[in-house]
Structure 1
């Protein structure tokens, strides 16, 4: 059955949805996006996602097209119209449509598009096997833009190599996964993850998971680390809005621990999902 999507003020069947060929999101990737998880037909981590959305828009000189409350109501309406219990909602906001010009125009009517993806998010995480690749992205990864070609390229290459994902490396240190933040756990139980900067996206799930770990009295260190250090870890994991906490079992052919999801990532995932259910709206 066809999905109902949202395009510029209207809920329409996906087959009828369209935007201009002159839209700057299409021509220049001049656009910002967010993705929120849906559990039990409710939106997860809304406040964090809408705050990051507003920040990302501001970083490229755009404002919010409508209020947070209006955007939330559109999300809820899509959940209702698509009879969605679990999955994700993608929101994309472009600068708008105008004849091609590299200079960013002012006061365009923004294009606003939302669509759903129904899929199972909760349940047991089997774990992923990853390979390292050079980070070829631009320098402002803290802005959640739609220019995901580099991420798509490295994830595709990982699949060609028979692996699940890629960890990107710059100047000898891991930045993040193709679409997630990364973590390692030392033999002493310390969680190590890259510190926030322009080099990585400030993950909403990352923020919540680190808060949960702190509340559970786990030691956390935010700093860069190498692939070699990661391979010596007792366990590793990744976080993202629609995969929550996902264990990493192998890095560049080196198996971590006993090759199964470790206790730290399993427990963090359990608690995160419990809290996400309670706080969803």
Structure 2
């Protein structure tokens, strides 16, 4: 592994310029990275799936994140961590060497207003392995969100070729129906989100019924409440999908929000002591 390069200085033959790279977005609270190990595990697993060299140890990962936070004097915000494909000779199948870890610190605002989703105008192929990896190529998501916003919505909602829900442009999605929490299965073409996995884990401990299933249009209409999840925003209510509206709050969702916050506080306490 090469150390992160200040100013993102990359060689012209870096595989990143062919879209060969991965990234993680880590929330920072009180100058501490949240759930750094979970992000590292996903980054490592994704690198292995793509055949990248991955020599970044968990200890080095944590050290790099803390050093960047300290350097930027970041109290609350986020870190975007990019793992590059490395340098290689010209050619699509050339294997990269000397992958780099690039870190960028930023601030963000927590969003509270429920969002309105608009169905994307094209379908995704659930068999495409890239949808289960957090690659640097987000152009599809960018185009879909721009189109949704032009039509008066806040974000896009993707469906696959079987006409089942997958995810929003940069968030997983959950549906509450008759006391059960439902979310699209990974096999539908879904990114295994960090907050998604935390919620499913809490469901097991809270004895909250849940299932990873195929979400059809009919199931959407039968849902009482819907919410999005990602590492920065946590849980974010959905006000509507196309013309179908949902409750702006729900006791089960409020319970999950409280549990996630409690988990964050416990994590911070353990890091500070």
State the Cα deviation string for residues 127-176 of structure 1 (Å, max 9, x = none). Answer: 11101123346701112211111111111111111211111001110011
Deviation at 1:17, TM superposition (A): 3.9
1:244 positional shift: 0.8
Distance 1:65 1:198, change over 3 A: farther
> Which one of the candidate residues 244, 260, 263 is aligned to 2:251?
263
Q: Which runs of 5+ in 1 are unaligned?
A: 1-6
Verify: 1:9 aligned to 2:13, yes or no.
no
Query: Runs in 1 of length 4+ with deviation above 6 angstroms?
Result: none
Structure 1 residue aligned with 2:112, among 125, 143, 156? 125
Counterparts in 2 of 1:42-57, with a 5 A limit? 42-57=32-47
TM-score using structure 2 length: 0.90
Alpha-carbon contact 1:36-1:88 (below 8 Å) kept: yes
2:235 maps to 1:241: no
C-alpha deviation, 1:48, in angstroms: 1.1
Q: Aligned-pair distance for 1:64? A: 1.8
Report the secondary structure of 2:132's partner residue. coil
Q: How does 1:1-281 map to 2 (within 5 A)?
A: 8-9=2-3, 12=6, 16-26=7-17, 28-105=18-95, 108-121=97-110, 125-133=112-120, 134-136=122-124, 139-140=128-129, 141-170=131-160, 171-186=162-177, 188-197=178-187, 199-257=189-247, 260-280=248-268, 281=271
**Distance in 2 separating the partners of 1:211 and 1:10:** 33
Deviates more, 1:208-217 or 1:175-184: 208-217
How far is the alpha carbon of 1:84 from its aligned partner?
A: 1.2
Cα deviation, 1:7-64, whole Å, max 9, x if unaligned, reads 952564xxx44222332111x1111111111112211111211111110000111132
Tell me the distance in 1 between the aligned counterparts of 2:227 and 2:258.
Answer: 14
Instruction: Give the CA deviation at 1:66.
Output: 2.3
Q: Quote the Cα distance in structure 1 between the aligned partners of 2:153 and 2:28.
A: 27
Q: Normalized against structure 1, the TM-score is what?
A: 0.87
Cα offset, 1:69, TM superposition: 0.7
How large is the RMSD of aligned CA atoms in angstroms? 2.0
**1:94/1:111 contact within 8 Å kept:** yes
Contact 1:132/1:227 (8 A) holds in 2: no
- For 1:33 and 1:274, the matched residues in 2 are separated by 26
Residues 272/93 of structure 1: CA separation in 2 closer, same or farther (3 Å cut): same
Q: Which blocks of at least 5 consecutive residues in structure 2 are unaligned?
A: none
